[in-house]
Amino acid sequence: MKQVLRKIFDTVTLPLFRQPLALKVLRQIVYQHKRAKRQVIEHHLRANGSYGDVVQRGPLAGLKYLPPERYASCRFEKIIGAYEHEIYPWLTELAATRQYTTVLNVGAAEGFFTAGLARLFPKAKVLSYESTEEGRDYCRELIKLNEVADRVEIHGTCTLEEFAAVNPNSPTLLMMDIDLGERLLLDLDKVPWLRHADVLVETHDCLKEGTTRLIIDRFAHSHNIRQVTSAGLPYANYPILRPLLFEDIQAMVGDDRRGLQDWLLMQPKQ
């Protein structure tokens, strides 16, 4: 009986979910289920006092966040210090060895790195670029909450012309995550000041193959380049995950990436 039911189910569902529209709908349903599961788990963790509104670990530890009623992407990972943990050793190193006076965060989303970098580099003026109004509004509240608003400027979409015109003449860090926009903006001929800036960029080969290689080739003569690829989270380093089932852990710390991604830290040779 079970085999008969399975065959009927396969006959109906497999052809259906090979259709692009049906597959798209299914993915959205699965994503919404994941969000609902996250809310239930977050509520439980808040109730027992293990999950709050302050980043718990990593170089941005101590950063205050808005309550979870205000949606923020990957909020749980950011609070527990797991979001893009692959680049945290670089941020720790830069905080210990660099004294930036200008920091640019291009592709700021709701301002996690904008506010975090402003706290990490207290002498720096921070220029934050985000194309969505929702993200900019959240960022405004976040920098106010963390008492760095006097050093942060929030802008909309970063055009090539605006980017080239920044032209800082002081120690500068550029942090960029703009889903292939790096192919346009990270051009040393069109943006000459990049030759003297530290650049931490997330590249997106999962969206267009060869993007990482393109950026490396452009900067190889002027910068020393380090590369790291997205890796699995070392669960044992996060005690908050220990009481959770593995399926719940995957729901909480899966950051919805389309595939493997790379980050480059590029620093001028001179």
pLDDT at 8: 72
* 84-109: pLDDT as tens digits: 999 999 999 999 999 999 999 999 99
How large is the angle between the packed helices 112-120 and 88-97, nearest 10 degrees? Answer: 30
CB-CB contact of 227 with 267 (8 Å): no
pLDDT at 9: 65
pLDDT at 210: 93
CB-CB contact of 263 with 87 (8 Å): yes
pLDDT at 91: 98
pLDDT at 10: 67
In the chain, the amino acid numbered 90 is W
**First-last CA distance in the chain:** 73
- For the chain, what is the mean pLDDT? 91
With a cut of 50, which residues of the chain have pLDDT below it?
none
Fold classification of 82-268 (topology level):
Rossmann fold (3.40.50)
pLDDT at 87: 97
State how far the alpha carbon of 64 is from the alpha carbons of 95, 149, 176, in Å.
19, 13, 22
Boundaries of every domain in the chain: 2-47, 82-268
pLDDT at 31: 75
pLDDT at 255: 61
* 59-75: pLDDT as tens digits: 999 999 999 889 898 99
